Structures are given as C-alpha cells and as structure tokens.
C-alpha cells in the first residue's frame, strides 16, 4: 500500500471513529429508532433518484440492509441511549469481525484455520473482561445490546458477500448506497410503535429551532462524512488492495473512538476495560487475517460465474472478509 493510500485509510479510521461522537450528539436530540431511520433516509432518497440499482438478488440486498442497517443501528443506538459509553461502543461493535467469521463457517461452509478459532476465542475472552468490568461499574444491558449490534452487522456482511458472490462485477459503492434504501421505513415503523407515532417527528421539528444546530450537524456528519465519504474512500481502497491488507485498518476505529470520547466527553475508561480492549482488537485481528482453509460453496459459485475477461483479475478473493462501513 502506498503512503498516500495509507493516509487515506487512516483518514477513514478518523472519520469512522469520530462518527460515534456524532451519534452521541444525535441521540441527545432524537429517540434511537427514529434517529437510525433518519440517518438512512437522508441518503436513501437521493439514491433512489440518482443511483442505478445494482444487479443483485433482492434477498441478499434485503439481508444486507436488515443486518447492517436495521439490526446494527437499532441495537447500537438503543445501547448508547441506555448508557453505553461512546468509546466503549466503538470497541464492542468490532465484535462483528469474529461474528462474521463464525457465520461464514456456519452459513457459507467456509473452513476455518486453527489460528482463526484461536483469534475468536481471544476476542471472546476480551469481551468477557469488558463485561466483567461493566458489571462492576454499570448495567450489563447496554453491553449486550452493543454485542447484538455487532451480530447484526455480521449478518449484513454475509448479505453483502452473497450479493457479490452471485453478481460478478457489481459496483461495491452502489451496493452500499442501495443498502440504505432498506432500513428507513421499518425503523420509522419501529419508532412509531415503541417511541410514539409523533415523538420523533416532534423532535425533528424542534431541531429547526436555535438549539437544533448540533442535531443537524451530527446528522450531516453521519450521512456525508461517516457514510458517503468514509465508505467511498474505503471502497476505493478495497478495489486496489486485498481485503486482508485493508480490513485490519478498521480495528483502529475504536482507538480513535475511545480517545475522542475521552477528550471531548470526559469518558475515562478503566484500566480493566482498556486491557479488555487490547485483547479484543488482538483477537479480532487474528480472526480476520487468518484466512480460510477452503472456499465455501458461495465462493466456488462466484469463481465459476466469473467471465474469462475478469477471471484472475480480482484482488479480493471470494473468502476474504468483506468489511462494510462502520457506524
């Protein structure tokens, strides 16, 4: 990777790490389910008008959108509203990496190396350390909700992987943008059922007042910088380098998230939580960089479907992890 592209990768890490601060600000103004629906709606509307839909089966696009969009952010925003510290949320959400490896083995029949299983075990041990620390200082529920968000992200990863496996040559950025079309209506419906049919819209109208600038600034950051700019740069890097080279950069996101929340929100993590963070990052890195022992059936299908013109030119192998934009 060139020095320029390393800097671009670190830029994405900073954008995604600071994204959690924007989420915290947004949740101070909007209820969680409504805010989650709103952050996707502001992207989905122009996507429907200007971006052609990628030629992928609807079932995999729906799985991608439900896992990454609905489950991840419904649980994550609920966890942060319930008291999950911002920096710790950016870390625990990285549980999606070992979750993705496990789901790939169970659902896609990907064979795992011992080093990957070891990495998963290490990451789980780190989560256990953080969970123990949370029980000493605060409620455990926000941690469990954040883990559920990581699992939802993992299902979204599987959806994006299956979409790519069945549709050779699909534009990854178009796939990511069209994923945003799936979550808004279900999230708004969930908001109406649990938060009240008028609560979110009332808060949105109130945000147009003099005190609403932080809310709109947070929404703009999440949509424009966190999703479009961050995802665009990430997609560019993924198109130039193997996933195993790019993916480990995402494990630096919690470093930025914890440092930013420490500096801006005065969230001081305990020494035990920081030790657990190091263990989790080490385990997730091991689990996602170990590679698969043998291609699963979906990887074989993608290989078989490749055209003679594109065969052998892909830099991302069918069984590489498929990182998607972070929160």
Instruction: Tell me the per-residue pLDDT of 230-283, one tens digit each, with 9 for 90 and over.
Output: 888 887 887 677 655 676 777 788 888 888 998 998 888 788 888 888 888 888
- How much is the pLDDT for 245? 66
Region of 253 (left: φ > 0; alpha: ψ -120 to 50; beta: rest) is alpha
- Tokens found for residue 205: 């109208």
SS3 content of the chain, % helix, strand, coil (to 5): 75, 0, 25
Instruction: Tell me the per-residue pLDDT of 185-224, one tens digit each, with 9 for 90 and over.
Output: 999 999 999 999 999 999 999 889 888 899 999 999 999 9
223/234 Cα distance (integer angstroms): 15
Residue ranges per structural domain of the chain: 3-305
CB 140: neighbour CB atoms within 10 A? 11
Mean pLDDT across 54-59: 91
91/84 Cα distance (integer angstroms): 11
Instruction: Tell me the per-residue pLDDT of 286-317, one tens digit each, with 9 for 90 and over.
Output: 776 655 444 455 444 444 444 333 333 333 33
Instruction: Tell me the per-residue pLDDT of 137-167, one tens digit each, with 9 for 90 and over.
Output: 767 899 899 999 999 998 998 888 888 777 7
pTM for this entry: 0.83
Query: Is pLDDT at 33 greater than 90 in this prediction?
Result: yes
Region of 291 (left: φ > 0; alpha: ψ -120 to 50; beta: rest) is left
Q: Which of 193, 266, 212 is nearest to 29 (CA)?
A: 212
Instruction: Tell me the per-residue pLDDT of 101-132, one tens digit each, with 9 for 90 and over.
Output: 888 888 888 777 888 788 888 888 888 888 78
Virtual torsion, Cα 135, 141, 143, 144, nearest 10 deg: 120
323/327 Cα distance (integer angstroms): 12
Query: Is pLDDT at 68 greater than 70 in this prediction?
Result: yes
Query: Is pLDDT at 319 greater than 60 in this prediction?
Result: no
CB 162: neighbour CB atoms within 10 A? 23
């Amino acid at each position: 990777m060139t020095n320029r592209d390393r800097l671009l990768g670190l830029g994405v890490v900073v954008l995604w790490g600071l994204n959690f601060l924007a989420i915290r600000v947004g949740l101070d103004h909007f209820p969680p389910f409504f805010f989650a629906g709103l952050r996707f709606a502001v992207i989905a509307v122009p996507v429907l008008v200007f971006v052609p839909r990628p030629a992928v089966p609807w079932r995999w696009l729906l799985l991608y959108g439900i896992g990454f969009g609905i489950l991840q952010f419904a649980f994550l925003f609920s966890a942060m509203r319930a008291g999950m510290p911002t920096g710790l949320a950016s870390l625990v959400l990285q549980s999606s990496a070992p979750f993705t490896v496990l789901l790939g083995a169970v659902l896609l029949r990907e064979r795992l190396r011992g080093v990957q299983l070891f990495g998963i075990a290490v990451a789980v041990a780190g989560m256990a350390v953080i969970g123990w620390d949370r029980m000493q200082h605060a409620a455990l529920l926000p941690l469990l909700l954040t883990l559920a968000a990581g699992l939802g992200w993992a299902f979204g990863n599987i959806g994006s992987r299956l979409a790519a496996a069945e549709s050779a040559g699909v534009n990854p950025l178009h796939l990511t943008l069209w994923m945003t079309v799936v979550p808004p209506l279900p999230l708004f419906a969930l908001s109406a059922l649990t938060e009240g049919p008028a609560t979110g819209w009332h808060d949105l109208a109130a945000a147009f007042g003099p005190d609403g600038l932080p809310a709109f600034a947070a929404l703009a950051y999440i949509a424009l910088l966190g999703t479009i700019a961050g995802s665009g740069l990430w997609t560019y890097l993924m198109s130039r380098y193997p996933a195993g080279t790019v993916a480990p950069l995402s494990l630096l996101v919690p470093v930025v998230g914890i440092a930013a929340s420490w500096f801006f929100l005065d969230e001081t993590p305990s020494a035990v939580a920081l030790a657990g963070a190091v263990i989790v990052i080490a385990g997730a890195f091991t689990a996602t960089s170990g590679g698969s022992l043998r291609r699963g059936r979906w990887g074989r299908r993608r290989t078989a479907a490749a055209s003679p013109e594109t065969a052998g030119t892909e830099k991302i192998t069918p069984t590489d992890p498929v990182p998607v934009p972070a929160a």
